[in-house]
Structure 1
């Protein structure tokens, strides 16, 4: 939809692959239509027709690229930065609760502005204190190996683990492209070793390697719902449950739909076969750089 006003020179963006996440994205779009009609949202999806009726949407056809789909958000960010100076990535299940100002002062800061981020040593502190799960220990091992591979000091306090559900990316004289390139490279390195998520670690390592600054940002002007974050805020007394109960209900209905045993079985077989195919394809493509990916 090329007629969308891009005067603000920034956009929101998200990923909507599959029916479940298209449904989530539809709710997010409606929130933005109400609370930020002047700001477009770029969506990468395998069903662009789902979003044709929305005037604030710029949709692009996209099929899953990464093994676990988690890293496909990189493609949404890259596509957004082709047309805009900045983009704010949101998971499709995020909800926007209140009107957003026409101007967000923090959006012009070059680099990454993260609603939640921690230094790497802080994020993996359970490993250092022998309280980590086996999955976290495995992830930590790959993070350390990847850091050494790209000549970074993992313990450097300037390298951050970025929570991937809400952050902004703003151009910085080409460093943003180098950041996206290293994200792509490190994503494959992790997935080859069985770590298909952990976007936060990869974002932090890629940014550090590219010299792309990462900052914590309060993100003034964005009032949002994210299920696990809002649950934590309720426990801390920062949010009243009755004010967000309907958002939890909608989240639950979409996230955990009622399915027959047959449908669950078919979906499981598809997920396993899809994962196996993408992993095999990755293993073959990685042969183009054996030194980086295999040695």
Structure 2
């Protein structure tokens, strides 16, 4: 009997050996707690997941200038090309209990949210002027925009509006990175959702969060060889200059 779950899938980025190992562990958790559910993985080495029957891995290299936080949109887009609902989850997350299957996810975006101004004032006040300028460029009132938690979020198809959402997320993410704001992708996601008129729903998110445990591996320092450091630096400058050139196509938005 076919027990494949065709209603939703999970998706994640797995760039680098540490995150590939974590994603493989996540796939094993899924096999145990949500049999039949697939994990879509964007990674430099898809063959690493050949032994994982519940993983669909596709080739992907970092596109974000310094970090890959905004690159999550690409795995979400890939996942939504195959499923009506995609659950984006950080690779450094464990699934510790049965994944709920009864939740009917709303079209659009579901996740943890709070007012973006309150969030930024609490966490990164220095970013507020840039976000105010950006909101003005987008014809948005920042008071009506939400920050969203990016480590666990759900996107469901919404008659094609999800494509517009990913486009806006990319544009906004590039703007922030070119202004030197490389983290806090939840701000960009919230702005993109507001720009296309999406409400950030909460129904079902807590149920899903309660069966996960985020390990936050990004804050654990790793040792790097000299070559790794050189390669990382070269990659950063390549991506930075490429984004600068691309931004010239919309000069007023990025530089005006």
Q: TM-score, normalised by structure 1?
A: 0.80
Q: Secondary structure at the match of 2:147?
A: strand
Matches within 5 A, 1:119-158: 119-126=115-122, 136-156=124-144
1:275 partnered with 2:236: yes
Matches within 5 A, 1:58-69: 58-67=56-65, 68-69=67-68
Pair 49,281 (structure 1): closer, same or farther in 2 beyond 3 Å: same
In structure 2, what is the Cα distance between the partners aligned to 1:6 and 1:223?
20
Per-residue deviation at 1:113?
Answer: 1.1
Per-residue deviation at 1:5?
Answer: 6.4
CA-to-aligned-CA distance 1:106-158 (integer Å, 9 cap, x gap): 4x2112111x32111221234xxxxx6xxx233222211110001000012xx
1:182 partnered with 2:168: yes
Task: Report the equivalent of 2:255.
Answer: 294
Per-residue deviation at 1:10?
Answer: 0.9
Per-residue deviation at 1:274?
Answer: 1.4
Per-residue deviation at 1:268?
Answer: 2.5
Matches within 5 A, 1:8-157: 8-67=6-65, 68-101=67-100, 103-106=101-104, 108-114=105-111, 116-126=112-122, 136-156=124-144
CA RMSD of aligned residues (A): 2.1
Per-residue deviation at 1:66?
Answer: 1.5
CA-to-aligned-CA distance 1:226-251 (integer Å, 9 cap, x gap): 136xxxxxxxxxxxxxxxxxxxxxx6
Q: Contact conserved, 2:120 with 2:127, CA < 8 A, in 1? A: no
5+ residue gaps, structure 1: 127-131, 229-250
Q: Secondary structure at the match of 1:39?
A: coil
In structure 1, what is the Cα distance between the partners aligned to 2:56 and 2:4?
11
**Which moves more between the two structures, 207-216 or 74-83?**
207-216
Number of residues of Structure 1 aligned to a counterpart in Structure 2: 252
Alignment equivalent of 1:203, drawn from 168, 179, 189: 189
Pair 86,293 (structure 1): closer, same or farther in 2 beyond 3 Å: same
In structure 1, what is the Cα distance between the partners aligned to 2:83 and 2:3?
11
Structure 1 residue runs of 4 or more that deviate by more than 4 Å after TM superposition: 4-7, 254-257
Which protein has the larger Cα radius of gyration, Structure 1 or Structure 2? Answer: 1
1:285 partnered with 2:246: yes
CA-to-aligned-CA distance 1:233-284 (integer Å, 9 cap, x gap): xxxxxxxxxxxxxxxxxx69x9445x4xxx4433333222211111011101
Task: Report the equivalent of 2:154.
Answer: 168
5+ residue gaps, structure 2: none
Q: Secondary structure at the match of 1:219?
A: helix
Q: Contact conserved, 1:78 with 1:180, CA < 8 A, in 2? A: yes
Q: Secondary structure at the match of 1:164?
A: coil
Q: TM-score, normalised by structure 2?
A: 0.91
In structure 2, what is the Cα distance between the partners aligned to 1:17 and 1:206?
24
In structure 1, what is the Cα distance between the partners aligned to 2:90 and 2:220?
13
In structure 1, what is the Cα distance between the partners aligned to 2:241 and 2:92?
30
Per-residue deviation at 1:82?
Answer: 0.8
